[in-house]
Amino acid sequence: MGNNFPEEKVYKVSELTQLVKLTLETQFASIQVLGEASGVVLASSGHLYFTLKDSAGAMKVVMFRGQLQKSALNKLENGQQIIVQGTLSVYPLRGEMQIIASDMRLQGIGDIFAALEKLKKAYQEKGYFDPQRKKPLPLLPGRIGVVTSPTGAAVRDIVRILRRRFPGIAIVIFPAKVQGEGAAAEIAAGIEFFNQALPEASVDVLIVGRGGGSYEDLWAFNEAPVVEAIFNSRIPVISAVGHETDFTIADFVADLRAATPSAAAELVVGKKDEFLNRIDFLRHGLMRHMEKRLHEKKSTLAQLLMDSSLADFPGRLQELAQRLDGSEFALNRHFQQSLNRRLGQWNRAAQRFAAFDMSGMLKNKGLQVQNLGMRIGTNFSERLQQRCEKIRVLDSKLASMNPENVLAKGYSITTDQSQRVVKDSSVLVADEKISIRFARGQTAAKVIKE
Amino acid sequence: MKKETLDFEVALKKLEAIVQKLENPEVPLQDGFALYEEGMKLTGQMKKELNDIEKKVKILQSDAKGNLQETDFDSPDNE
């Protein structure tokens, strides 16, 4: 057996590993390898170590700090499908084969991201994302349309949350395939269906979305049919695709983007309790303001009744009557005239007061109060009546003092030629011409002295 | 159904405007009372509308003729 080796060279381990290393590095100087990352370790030195594997193989990978900083993907997680670019080499100390990575990226993601960015830019330039295009959501949607898979977690989350927030709210689900071939067309058909529905079948807001998945799974929401359908929808659309970190073109073109389907349900309708509270709050506001208003009017009325021009009127009449009493026995023509004048004034005032438009007054100041059955109205009219009554009494009192009335009782007034009232017969001389005034008319007379 | 809810939004705005108007002391009492009555009527209607909503979750399914029809959606959370 030993004979098989004689002329063969015997390598030292280090020689061999160096030789293999050189061979590999020459032969596989620049390769790309696809696999799943596992055992990811970022050393304190800043170098990244991991194993790249697939179902039937595994290989160590090292990415030195300098390359890692420049890499398209600089944060690696276990389980990620990645493509590593680098040189195949050997780690001489252990004789292990390894890839010295110069760059790495998520599988497919580079293409997807690039495509997504391109699409996003194109739609942005076409004005599809303009904020002024965004339609406001209805405060309380009568019916909520949902375009999603009827079997996924998304539809269950949406229905559960909507019913919790607003029991009894109407939800209509348009079942659509949300990934794979034909998904975009079905989603678009759902959006168009609701937009073309008859008013009674229509909805006030649409939730379009699906649960989480890979970028490929969510791709339908980047496709033109969906984007165009959302753009052309007259019904406000909420996009709810995947998780918080996932973004699709549908999210940008939608009127509102919800981080998740659950979040969409939260956004689409307020809590029923909150609506009821708001109405109650406004109802109390109405009552409070009305009470305040009535209270103010009540005060105004009281003020009005206290007002001197009204309240003092009977007092002033009384005063005048007293003055009249004092002058009762000293009536002369002048006084009488001025009295008559005053009487006329006061009569007119009294008439005005008696004829005071109480209904108009009440209409202007307190009609509504009466309508409300407020007692103040009644008080007011009673007090007015009392005052009118007082005025009537005073009025008749004044009337009884009117000299005309005295004449009516059969008395007469005698005046001399200088129109002085004759109060003493001794002042008269025989044949003096006098004038006698009766209740009706007057006559000239001559004094006969016996 | 749709019309009612649009009315709800309009009604809420109207109600808020009424409360605001009633707050203004310049508004004559007659008008104030009319506003009050209207507001109270509105709140009653709105509360009734909110409490009367009792709808089911529906799913659209194709009927024999291929037209989409609403049918009840059976979900474990759809009590």
| CATH number assigned to the domain comprising residue A127 | 3.40.50.261
Q: Which domain holds residue A207?
A: 113-270
Geometric angle at alpha carbon B52, from B46 and B57, rounded to 5°: 125
Task: Say if CB A59 and CB A51 are below 8 A apart.
Answer: yes
Considering the domain architecture, whether residues A89 and A123 belong to the same structural domain is answered as: no
Of B39, B47, B60, which is closest to A276 when you measure between CB atoms?
B47
A292 vs A256, more confident: A256
Average pLDDT over residues A355-368: 54
Q: Which domain holds residue B23?
A: 2-72
Q: Does residue A1 belong to any structural domain of this protein?
A: no
> Above 90 in pLDDT, residue A383?
no
User: A303 to chain B, minimum CA–CA distance in Å?
Assistant: 17
Q: Does residue B78 belong to any structural domain of this protein?
A: no
Considering the domain architecture, whether residues A125 and A199 belong to the same structural domain is answered as: yes
pLDDT for residue A230: 97
Which residue type, as a one-letter code, is found at position A66?
Answer: G
Percent of chain A with pLDDT over 90: 39
Average pLDDT over residues A341-363: 61
In tens, the pLDDT along A252-287 reads: 999 999 999 999 999 998 888 888 898 899 989 888
Structure tokens at A375: 């007692």
Q: A137 exposed, middle or buried (CB, 10 Å; 0-12, 13-18, 19+)? A: middle
B24 vs A2, more confident: B24
Q: Does residue A135 belong to any structural domain of this protein?
A: yes
CB contact under 8 A, A276 and B36: no
Q: Does residue A67 belong to any structural domain of this protein?
A: yes
H-helix or E-strand containing A292?
helix A272-306
Q: Does residue B39 belong to any structural domain of this protein?
A: yes
Mark which of A76, A107, A138 sits at the end of a domain.
A107
Considering the domain architecture, whether residues A227 and A127 belong to the same structural domain is answered as: yes
Q: Does residue A225 belong to any structural domain of this protein?
A: yes
Q: Is A29 on the interface with B (CB under 8 A)?
A: no
User: B7 to chain A, minimum CA–CA distance in Å?
Assistant: 10
Instruction: State the pLDDT confidence band at A223, using cuts at 50, 70 and 90.
Output: very high
Q: Does residue B13 belong to any structural domain of this protein?
A: yes
CB contact under 8 A, B5 and A141: yes
User: A189 to chain B, minimum CA–CA distance in Å?
Assistant: 12
Average pLDDT, chain A: 82
Residues of A in contact with B59 (CB under 8 A): 150, 172-173, 175
Considering the domain architecture, whether residues A157 and A230 belong to the same structural domain is answered as: yes
Q: Does residue B68 belong to any structural domain of this protein?
A: yes
Of B2, B6, B60, which is closest to A174 when you measure between CB atoms?
B60
Q: Does residue B25 belong to any structural domain of this protein?
A: yes
Q: What domain count does chain B have? A: 1
Q: Does residue B79 belong to any structural domain of this protein?
A: no
Interface test with B, best of A146, A235, A279, A367 (most B CBs within 10 A): A279
Considering the domain architecture, whether residues A65 and A15 belong to the same structural domain is answered as: yes
pLDDT for residue B61: 82
CB contact under 8 A, B15 and A279: yes
Contacts of A146 (CB under 8 A, 6+ apart): A155, A158, A159, A171, A172, A173, A174, A206, A207, A208
pLDDT for residue B73: 84
Dihedral-angle region of residue A20 (phi above 0 means left; psi in -120 to 50 means alpha; beta otherwise) = alpha
Considering the domain architecture, whether residues A60 and A124 belong to the same structural domain is answered as: no
Q: What domain count does chain A have? A: 4
Considering the domain architecture, whether residues A256 and A315 belong to the same structural domain is answered as: no
Q: Does residue A178 belong to any structural domain of this protein?
A: yes
Q: Is A393 on the interface with B (CB under 8 A)?
A: no
Q: Rounded to whole angstroms, how far apart are CA atoms A116 and A106?
A: 15
Average pLDDT over residues B34-45: 87
Considering the domain architecture, whether residues A94 and A15 belong to the same structural domain is answered as: yes
Q: Does residue B77 belong to any structural domain of this protein?
A: no
Q: In whole angstroms, what separates CA A416 from the centre of its chain?
A: 91
Instruction: State the pLDDT confidence band at B6, using cuts at 50, 70 and 90.
Output: very low
Mark which of A270, A293, A317 sits at the end of a domain.
A270
> Above 80 in pLDDT, residue A366?
no
Range of lowest pLDDT (A115-119, A189-193, A382-386): A382-386
In tens, the pLDDT along A169-182 reads: 899 999 999 998 89
Considering the domain architecture, whether residues A390 and A363 belong to the same structural domain is answered as: yes
Q: Does residue B67 belong to any structural domain of this protein?
A: yes
Q: Does residue A370 belong to any structural domain of this protein?
A: yes
* Cβ-based interface (< 8 Å): residues of B facing A: 1-6, 8-9, 12, 15-16, 18-19, 22-23, 25, 29-30, 32-33, 36, 39-40, 43, 46-47, 50-51, 53-61, 68, 70, 73, 75-79
Q: Is A8 on the interface with B (CB under 8 A)?
A: no
pTM (two decimals): 0.53
Nearest CA-CA partner of A123 in A222, A256, A234, A235:
A222
Considering the domain architecture, whether residues A259 and A367 belong to the same structural domain is answered as: no
Considering the domain architecture, whether residues A246 and A127 belong to the same structural domain is answered as: yes
Considering the domain architecture, whether residues A284 and A183 belong to the same structural domain is answered as: no
User: A127 to chain B, minimum CA–CA distance in Å?
Assistant: 29
Q: How many CB atoms lie within 10 A of CB B60?
A: 23
Structure tokens at A60: 């160590």
Dihedral-angle region of residue B61 (phi above 0 means left; psi in -120 to 50 means alpha; beta otherwise) = beta
Q: Does residue A120 belong to any structural domain of this protein?
A: yes
